[in-house]
Structures are given as structure tokens and as C-alpha cells.
Amino acid sequence: MQPIPDYAHSVCEHLRSQAAAGLLQADSAQMEVAQSLDNILFDLRQQRPAAKSSALGWMFARKKKPVGMRRGLYVHGSVGRGKTMLMDLFFKFAPLEKKRRAHFHEFMADVHARIHAHRVKLKNGETRQADPVPPVAAALREEAELLCFDEFTVTDIADAMILSRLFTELFSRGCILVATSNVEPDNLYRDGLNRGLFLPFVALLKRHVDVVSLDSPTDYRMEKNQHLPVYLTPLDERADLAMNAAWHSLAIGTSEGPAVIERNGRSIHIPCAAGRMARFTFADLCEKPLGASDYLEIARRFDTLFLEHVPLLGPEKRNETKRFIILIDALYDQSVRLFVSAAAAPEELLPVRKGTEGFEFDRTVSRLFEMRSADYLALHKRQRQGM
């Protein structure tokens, strides 16, 4: 999550330079993935028009691949191994004007919004195209030739049911996908409702991307040991007093009170807001029918969030657990500063790990640790100053 300098022209080159300067630890597993990313960069550069100063360059250039044959990359591995760092480097160096890097939940929220808008046009007689997927895919491809997804995960049946048709259209239009994930493709949407209808997407994905594993032995996030006291446990009077003290110390000079975010005809109620800070209980955010797009809207509106009274989670709270996972993803992706009071430490909040939620909660635990680190808080501060 550190700023990426401009001197490097490949992911491998950047890693070597940073390791030589003592800013990164040399990691052979990361270098293997970096080489796969550099192979894509090479292909993309070969497809650019030859420079005018080299009139014969086209004669010696490597033969271009047909647009539909260009393969992307799917990188999976345990949390904290550097997947996001590598993808961010690749995205920076990709020599394309039309490229998009997004959290997968954010991208799918955009897709569903576009589908809804198309259906409204159909209802109003503004289009005769009954199927919204082809025009939505065409618009997405027009905006981005390269799609980079961080933390590719499928937990929502609405997403699962549309992915195969959507990416059939995108791949046929020459879109390139590079994604990171905690799970290999065959484990996506594992134990999900009607998973059989999702399996064609897995097959489609593996036809259009190379799948590689990042098996670094080091969890770099857990090595960050400069934590601030912003995660309070257990849930008792001392935790409540500490949360109150932190809130009031940050809210000095701002007016406090409830607020409302109006979004797509719906209202998201904020129990207490002060400037760009908001305060919620777990029940406010995870026991109500909110989704990824709602959490992203909250994360864009507020740069500091207080989340109180997070309970122990389990099978009886499956929906609440899924919402909590998505909430933390959204806050992390937007570099929101987070204060939490909870019944237990992050790794103990979900005592029984199984199915999709078990896989996903490992990432949540890692992110809750990182969101307490000095590095994360420094990034939050830089982004806040840039607003």
C-alpha cells in the first residue's frame, strides 16, 4: 500500500530495486508471480503501434495475438502475501489508457446499477434491447480494456448468476482480466446457493486467465506490529468509555447529530455523524438489509468510522457475518480509519470456520489487524490530506 515510484518499468524490476534498497524483503514466490504479470505487460507493449522513428519496427515485432486470445492472470493465495501490492504495480505499469482497478464488490455494484438503468430505459421505451447484459458489457469494455480486481470473491447469488454471461461478453470483446483472490477458481462461491449455475463461469474464467498461486511463507501484514489502541475488547464499560473518549476527542469543533444518505431511492440512516466521522453499532450496519454498494457509499462519505458492540459470530448469524465481511472490505478499500469495540480479538470473533464465510473471514481478520497498523493510518492520513 506504499506509493509506487515511476522509475520502474516492470513488476520484477520494481521488486529488485526495492529489495536492493532494503525497502522490501526479497521473496522468490512474489518474483514468480511478478514474472507472470510482466509477461502480460510485454504482450500489451508489443501490441502498441511501432514508433515513427522505427519504420521497420513492425517487421521484427512479435506477432500480435488475436484480441480474443489475450490471457489474463488470476493470483490466489493466503492473506498478507503481497497479492494486492503486485497487482497495483502491474496496473500502474500497464500501457493502456482504458484500464480500471476496482474492488470486486464495487465493480459488481456498478454492474447491477447499469442493468437497473437499462431496464428503466426499456420500460420507458427508450431502448428495444430486452437483454441488458450485452449493452452493459459493451459500455464497460468501451471504458476499460483491462480490468483489475482485488480480492475476487463471490458471495452473492445475484452476482453468481450474472458473471458467466457478463464475462462471456467482456472476453469476446477483448477485455483482459487480472485478479487476486484468497481462493483458487474452483473454490469460488463454494457452498453457495444454486452453485451448479455458477460453474460455467469457473470454466470460462480458466479459459481466459492463467491461474497462479502465491505461496510466500511470510504474512507481511502480521509483521506490522505498530498498532494503535483502536480495537477494544471485551465488551464492557471500559470499552464503552474508551470509545466515547476517542469519539469526543476527534469530534471537537464539529457539530454532532444523525444524518441520512439518500441513494437510489433508499435512505441510509447514520445514527451519529460529525464532519467526516460516523458512529454505528454492529446492529446498525450488519443486522439490517444493507449490501456492498451501501457500505461503499458510507466509506466514500466518511473517512473515520466507529463500529461498536461487535458480537461473537456463528452459524446463527450467517447473514450478519457475511455483511460484516463485506463491510470491512469496503472500509479497507477506501482506507477508512476504523475504531472497533468487540466481544473478542479479530481471530476469535468467528470460532467455527467453515464454508465460504470461513475462507472470507480469514481475510477480514487480516484486514482488521492491518487497519490498526501505523502504515495503514499513514495511508489514511495522506488520502485525507489529498481531499
Q: With a cut of 80, say whether residue 80 has pLDDT above it.
A: no
Q: What is the mean pLDDT of residues 179-197?
A: 89
**Pairwise CA distance, residues 94 & 148, whole Å:** 11
Q: How many Å apart are CA 206 and CA 376, to the nearest integer? A: 34
Residue 63, CB-side half-sphere exposure with 13 Å CA sphere: 3
Buried b / exposed e along 32-59 (16+ C-beta atoms within 10 A):
ebbebbbebbebbeeeeeeeeeeeeeee
Write the pLDDT tens digit of every residue in 358-382.
Answer: 778 988 999 998 888 777 777 776 6
Q: Which three cell numbers stand for residue 263?
A: 441513494
The predicted pLDDT at position 133 comes to 96
* E-strand stretches of the chain: 72-76, 99-103, 146-150, 176-181, 209-213, 231-232, 256-263, 266-274, 277-281, 304-310, 337-342
At 121-160, the pLDDT tens digits run 999 999 999 999 999 999 999 999 999 998 788 878 888 9
Q: Of 301, 306, 314, 262, nearest to 284 (Cα)?
A: 306
| Cβ atoms of residues 139 and 113 within 8 Å | no
| 11-213 classified as CATH 3.40.50.300 | yes
Burial of residue 171 (CB within 10 Å: 0-12, 13-18, 19+) is buried
Q: What is the average per-residue pLDDT within 180-207?
A: 90
Instruction: Report the distance separating Cα 180 and Cα 14, nearest Å.
Output: 19
Tens of pLDDT along 311-368?
Answer: 999 889 989 999 999 999 999 988 899 999 999 999 999 998 877 677 789 889 999 9
pLDDT at 59 over 90: no
Residue 350: the pLDDT is 93
- Of 313 and 66, more confident: 313
**Strand pairing report for 176-181 and 72-76:** parallel
Instruction: Determine the Cα–Cα distance for residues 335 and 381; give it in Å rounded to an integer.
Output: 9
Tens of pLDDT, residue by residue over 227-273, are 445 899 999 999 999 899 888 888 876 678 898 888 777 789 999 99
Q: pTM above the 0.85 mark?
A: no
Q: Cα 176 from chain centroid?
A: 17
> What is the crossing angle of helices 104-123 and 157-172, to 10°?
80
The 3-state DSSP class for residue 345 equals coil
Contacts with 200 (C-beta within 8 Å, 6 or more apart), sequence order: 164
For the cut 50, the answer to whether the pLDDT of residue 3 exceeds it is no
